[in-house]
Structure 1
Amino acid sequence: MSESSHRPSRPLAPGQWAFTRWITLGRLEALEIRHPLFNATLTLQGAHLVQFQPTDEAQWLWLSPAARFEPGVAIRGGIPLCWPWFGVPERNPPEVRKRIHTEQPHGFARTALWRLEDVRENAHEVEISLALDGNDDFADLWSGHALALITFHFSVRGCRLALTTTNLGAEPLALSQALHTYLPTPDLIRTRVLGLGYSSYIDTLDNWAYTFQEGPVYFSGETDRIYESGEPLTVVTPAGSRKLTPVGSDSTVVWNPGPDKAARLSDFPATEWPRMLCVETANAASDYRVLNTGQSHTLGVLIGR
């Protein structure tokens, strides 16, 4: 997925990092990257990217003004990791659903504490890897044993996420997942998503009916769709455009809560829904994945210019 011939240098021990440092964000431990070319912030809880912006540019991600940085609380905005299932359990395929022992949506990874694996830096890029062992510690929520490794790659051209799951169990493992990317816009009504035209989607607001998309995706209020497409996308807003290039995905989720649902959501000011949208690189609905013992799958996205 790399766009650059520059490779991050050998990892440095904590204290030797040139651009990366530990900080406390609210009540959460986080890593802050202050590079001459870009800034980024991610928390160990959820391996959650909450900020990315090239120097002298606006934040590329939408973060709720009411987001809470507290243990056990999902952060509203940025890029949450939905793993090892996406959405509400009952709407997952049977092979995924049979492993889930809770009604909690979007898995447990977004509120779990990940461990730092690696930091690599050079004059052009920073790369950070975090890992989560989905083992018996989560047995009350899920049956399975898998290793999740997320790698963040930052440069002036954009940010790249790669979430690799390896099945460490003795049986095949079915999972659904998503990189739940929140993007800002000055005006949702004048925003459109290109690249999903002529693909089918599930409209979860219309009793999960299948519908066909013709042309760009426009917004007029609440939107919740699972597209059967893993094609590169362009999000066009009045402030400019952003390209999303997926890897290991044949499904894309497009979401906005609209005014009524926004008023019911936690950590979401009721007036913020016209200023954001989610375009999520996913393995959702029929695009769920099954891994044999020892097998790995990588779900990734490059967010660029």
Structure 2
Amino acid sequence: MSESSHRPSRSLSPGQWSFTRWKTIGQLEALEVHHPLFRATLFLQGAHLTQFMPSDEPDWLWLSKDARFEPGRAIRGGIPVCWPWFGDPGKNAPAVRKRIHTNSAHGFARTALWKLEDVRENAHEVEISLSLDANEDFANVWSGHALALITFHFSVRGCQLALTTTNLGEEPMAFSQALHTYLPTSDVTRSRVLGLGYSQYIDTLDDWEYKNQEGPVYFEGETDRIYESGEPLTIVTPSGSRKLTSVGSDSTVVWNPGPEKAARLSDFPDEAWKTMLCVETANAASDYRVLNTGQSHTLGVLIGRK
């Protein structure tokens, strides 16, 4: 998914990093990127990106004003990594569900501590890789052994994520996942998603009924849909547009809590639903994946300019 022929140079020692620095935010450790062309903030807990902004531009991601940065607590906003299952465990396919030993939604990766693998930098780009070894340490919530490696690629042209899962177990492993991207808008009721027209979707708010999308996706209140599409998307808001291009995905989740659910959500201001929307690159519902021993799968998204 590389968007440029320039490859950031290897830098093994933090002392040699030119643009990347450690920072403690709340109670969590983060990497802050201060590049002349862009800025980014990435937490080790959850491999959670909370900020990406090219110079002299507003943040391309939405982060709740009430977000809390505490061990074991998912951060509200940015791009949470939902892995190795997405959503309610009971709504996953049987092959995925049988490995899950908790009622908690969205997997354990978003609150686990990931390991820094590499930082590469040059005058044009920064690339950061983190890993999570899902081994017996997680046996109380999930059965399996897998390695998750996520790479973040930042440049003035956009922000790219690639999440690669490798099955290290001795039997086939089924899993679901999503890159749960929160995007900002000045008015969600005047925003729309292009590229999902005429695709089928599951309306989770209407007894998980299958429906057909006609034209753009608009937001008129709570929205929670799993689309059977991995096509490139354009997100249009009153202030502009973004293009989302996915890899390794045949499903897209579109979500906004609306006013009633927003009032019940943790770390989420009651009126914040008006200023955000989620468009998630996923392997969800029937788009779950199965890996044999040693096999890998990469789920990726490029958030770029239209």
TM-score by length of 2: 0.99
Per the alignment, residue 282 of structure 1 pairs with 282
Residue in 1 that maps onto 2:155: 155
**Residue 111 of structure 1 aligns to a residue in which SS?**
coil
Q: What are the Cα deviations for residues 55-111 of structure 1, in whole angstroms up to 9, with x where unaligned? A: 000000000000000000000000000000000000000000000000000000000
Partner of 1:15: 15
Deviations 1:34-64 (A, max 9, x none): 0000000010000000000000000000000
- RMSD between aligned residues: 0.4
CA distance in 1 between counterparts of 2:281 and 2:79 reads 11
Q: What is the alpha-carbon distance in structure 1 between the residues aligned to residue 54 and residue 293 of structure 2?
A: 40
Amino acid in the other structure paired with 1:32: E
Q: Which residue of 1 aligns with 2:248?
A: 248
The one-letter code of the counterpart of 1:151 is T
Q: Which residue of 1 aligns with 2:111?
A: 111
* AA at the equivalent of 1:62: W
- 1:79-228 matches, cutoff 5 A: 79-228=79-228
**For 1:281 and 1:24, how far apart are their aligned partners in 2?**
29
Cα offset for 1:10? Answer: 1.8
How far has the Cα of 1:234 moved from its partner? 0.2
Q: CA deviation at 1:14?
A: 1.0
C-alpha separation between the residues in 2 aligned to 1:285 and 1:88? 11
Shift in Å at residue 2 of structure 1? 1.3
**What is the CA distance between 1:15 and its match in structure 2?**
1.1
Secondary structure, aligned partner of 1:96: helix
Separation in 1 of the partners of 2:20 and 2:302?
Answer: 21
For residues 179-232 of structure 1, give each alpha carbon's deviation from its aligned partner in whole angstroms, at most 9, with x where no partner exists: 000000000010000000010000000000000000000010000000000000
Take 1:106 and 1:20, find their aligned partners in 2: how far apart are those partners? 29
Q: Secondary structure at the match of 2:15?
A: coil
Corresponding residue pairs, total: 305
Corresponding residue for 1:71?
A: 71
Structure 1 unaligned runs (5+)? none
Matches of 1:271 and 1:159, distance apart in 2? 28
Q: Give the Cα separation in 2 of the matches to 1:212 and 1:38.
A: 39
1:5, CA displacement in angstroms? 1.5
Taking only the aligned residue pairs, the percentage that are identical comes to: 82
Question: Post-superposition shift, 1:12?
Answer: 3.3
CA distance in 1 between counterparts of 2:135 and 2:298 reads 19
Amino acid aligned to 2:244? L
Structure 2: distance between partners of 1:227 and 1:71: 33
Q: Which residue of 1 aligns with 2:259?
A: 259
Matched, 1:35 2:35: yes
Name the structure 2 match of 1:236: 236
Determine the C-alpha separation between the residues in 1 that align with 2:39 and 2:102.
37
Amino acid at match of 1:207: D
Task: Tell me which stretches of 4 or more aligned residues in structure 1 moved more than 6 Å.
Answer: none
Which whole-Å CA distance do the structure 2 matches of 1:274 and 1:153 have between them? 29
**1:46 and 2:14 are equivalent in the alignment:** no
Could you tell me how far apart the structure 2 residues matched to 1:11 and 1:149 are?
A: 18
Aligned equivalents of 1:39 and 1:3: distance in 2? 18
SS of residue paired to 1:2 = coil
- 3-state SS of the aligned residue for 2:10? coil
AA of the residue aligned to 2:297 = H
Whole-Å separation in 1 of the counterparts to 2:165 and 2:219: 33
SS of 1:10's equivalent in the other structure is strand
